[in-house]
């Protein structure tokens, strides 16, 4: 069927073993990528300065708003591929791949044009501090011009993962991250390209990882080799991909709208507050990688098991993932409570006492709510894999409401401490919607499968 022995059927075998194996492969790549992000940010801070470092940090919310949509759309496009792979319908699977490529080209072209034209206006509207505005613009405009390579990597790596292979996309990501660090040093130090060089290094390295994914698919996965008839346009395949991809993209973007509103409130507190949040988020993202790995795992796990109509196996997988998520959450909180301030010193000088104190407070409060965060990632991505992406959008609305409430109402009253509770409130609100949604979706699919009705 294929040359790639890493393609895995997640519908057969012990769920805990399957989920741990798939997640660990993703985890190492994500850890390495986050380590790269930390090194990348540290290079900016050490060799360009605190203002440049803070400028990059202030773009985080709008970066997530746009790039999150790209990643969400690509993850959604991979779900029908996983479902058809689970059902062993390879003809339809290839048609989904070809149509996903067409849609990705269209989305990438339109988004690149739009966000590049309005990039500066967006940053100004976000109340970006004047002393870091040019650094922020110089960085994010290059990232936005690289949207096509973002689509390329995320779509192709998502398709590979949909077939149960989590190892090769990670390997390509690790190679690209090493290249990224080397290019950072080259562009920033001897070339003197500053913040633009850091962004260019990111775009080029991601393009390299996308090319590696493409070469791997062409050489190793026979069932993904597209034929002439696979490119024949089919309205139903376009609709299914849009129904999966757009809601997942909107889920990220809607969630990010709350983050943008919160970032405006943070910017209003001054550069030091922005620096503290940037630092805490950099450290926190490193500790949140296992949640991301579990989420990506459950999307593929859910897709394949729904395609194979194995709801009991899917439920057992959910239980296994929750056990893993809760256990890790407790450990992560303890580490952040004891050593969070030390981690923050990677980015901030020891004399920056106020920033360090605020960064540590942010890490402690967020870490205390990691169990709700684990549930958000596990349940939301599982529902998406089951084919009900619209519920993920509604969960994103709940997160947006939580962060918006904090940014608009609580920050003006309580200042920085309120910012620390923004994400925890968002996670709890999302869980209050996602858990009942999963129960409803599982019951609905049970009725469909008992009647032997096709999912599509």
Question: If you average pLDDT over residues 233-249, what whole number do you get?
Answer: 91
Is the model's pLDDT at 311 over the cut of 80?
A: yes
Q: Between 218 and 28, name the one with better pLDDT.
A: 218
The percentage of residues in the chain with a pLDDT greater than 90, rounded to a whole number, is 50
**Mean pLDDT across the stretch 275-301?**
89
**Other C-beta atoms within 10 Å of 13: how many?**
12
pLDDT band at 6 (very low <50, low <70, confident <90, very high): low
pLDDT on residue 409: 92
Supply the pLDDT for residue 59: 81
Average pLDDT of the residues of the chain: 88
321, pLDDT greater than 90: yes
Task: Report the pLDDT averaged over residues 172-181.
Answer: 87
Separation CA 23–CA 38 (nearest Å): 22
DSSP string, 370-397: HHHHHHHHHHHHHHHHTT-HHHHHHHHH
Q: Which of 44-48, 269-273, 362-366 has the lowest mean pLDDT?
A: 44-48
In the chain, pLDDT over 70 holds for what percent of residues? Answer: 96
pLDDT for position 314 = 93
3-state secondary structure of 222: helix
Q: Token digits for 6? A: 């890493």
Categorize the per-residue pLDDT at 95 as very low, low, confident or very high, splitting at 50, 70 and 90.
Answer: very high
Q: Which of 430, 445, 439 is nearest to 400 (CA)?
A: 430
The stretch 329-337 carries a mean pLDDT of 97
pLDDT in tens, 383-430: 988 988 788 788 888 998 999 999 999 999 999 999 999 999 999 999
> What pLDDT is stored for residue 453 in this prediction?
46
Range ranked top by mean pLDDT from 281-295, 327-341, 387-401: 327-341
Question: Distances from the Cα of 219 to the Cαs of 206, 212, 309, in angstroms?
Answer: 20, 11, 31
With a cut of 70, say whether residue 5 has pLDDT above it. no
C-alpha Rg value of the chain to the nearest Å:
21
Q: For residue 451, what pLDDT band results from cuts at 50, 70 and 90?
A: low
Q: How far apart are CA 44 and CA 338, in angstroms?
A: 27
Lowest mean pLDDT among 15-19, 124-128, 297-301: 124-128
| pLDDT over 70 (residue 339) | yes
Q: Span 32-61, mean pLDDT?
A: 75
DSSP for 273-306, written as a single string? HHHHHHHHHHHHHHHTHHHHHHHHHHHHHHHHHH
Mean pLDDT of 56-84: 86
pLDDT for 455 equals 42
* Residue-level pLDDT at 2: 47
Helix (H, G, I), strand (E, B) or coil at 352: coil
């Amino acid at each position: 069927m294929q040359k790639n022995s890493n393609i895995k059927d997640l519908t057969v075998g012990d769920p805990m073993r399957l989920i741990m194996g798939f997640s660990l492969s993703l985890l190492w790549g994500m850890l390495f990528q986050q380590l790269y992000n930390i090194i990348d940010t540290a290079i900016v801070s050490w060799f360009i300065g605190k203002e440049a470092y803070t400028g990059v940090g202030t773009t985080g919310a709008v970066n997530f708003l746009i790039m999150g949509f790209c990643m969400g759309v690509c993850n959604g496009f991979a779900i029908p591929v996983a479902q058809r792979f689970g059902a062993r319908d390879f003809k339809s699977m290839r048609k989904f791949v070809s149509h996903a490529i067409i849609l990705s080209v269209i989305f990438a072209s339109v988004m690149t044009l739009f966000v590049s034209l309005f990039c500066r206006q967006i940053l100004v509207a976000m109340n970006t501090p004047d002393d870091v505005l040019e650094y922020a613009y110089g960085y994010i405009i290059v990232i936005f011009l690289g949207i096509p390579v973002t689509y390329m990597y995320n779509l192709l790596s998502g398709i590979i993962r949909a077939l149960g292979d989590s190892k090769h996309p990670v390997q390509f990501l690790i190679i690209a991250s090493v290249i990224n660090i080397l290019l950072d040093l080259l562009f920033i130090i001897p070339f003197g390209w500053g913040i633009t060089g850091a962004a260019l290094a990111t775009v080029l390295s991601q393009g390299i990882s996308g090319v590696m994914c493409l070469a791997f698919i062409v050489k190793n996965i026979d069932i993904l080799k597209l034929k002439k008839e696979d490119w024949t346009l089919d309205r139903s395949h376009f609709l299914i991909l849009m129904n999966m991809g757009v809601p997942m993209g909107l889920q990220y973007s809607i969630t990010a709208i709350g983050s943008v509103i919160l970032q405006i409130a943070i910017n209003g507190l001054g550069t030091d507050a922005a620096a503290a949040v940037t630092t805490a988020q950099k450290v926190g993202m490193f500790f949140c990688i296992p949640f991301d790995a579990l989420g990506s795992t459950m999307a593929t796990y859910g897709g394949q098991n729904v395609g194979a109509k194995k709801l009991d196996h899917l439920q057992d997988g959910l239980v296994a993932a929750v056990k893993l998520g809760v256990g890790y959450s407790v450990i992560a909180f303890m580490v952040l409570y004891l050593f969070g301030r030390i981690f923050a010193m990677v980015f901030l000088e020891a004399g920056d006492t106020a920033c360090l104190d605020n960064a540590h407070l942010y890490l402690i409060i967020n870490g205390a709510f990691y169990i709700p965060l684990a549930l958000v990632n596990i349940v939301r991505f599982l529902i998406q894999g089951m084919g009900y992406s619209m519920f993920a959008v509604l969960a994103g609305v709940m997160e947006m409401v939580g962060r918006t409430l904090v940014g608009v109402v609580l920050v003006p009253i309580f200042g920085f401490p309120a910012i620390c509770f923004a994400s925890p409130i968002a996670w709890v609100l999302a869980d209050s919607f996602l858990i009942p949604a999963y129960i409803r979706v599982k019951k609905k699919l049970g009725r469909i499968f008992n009647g032997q009705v096709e999912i599509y």
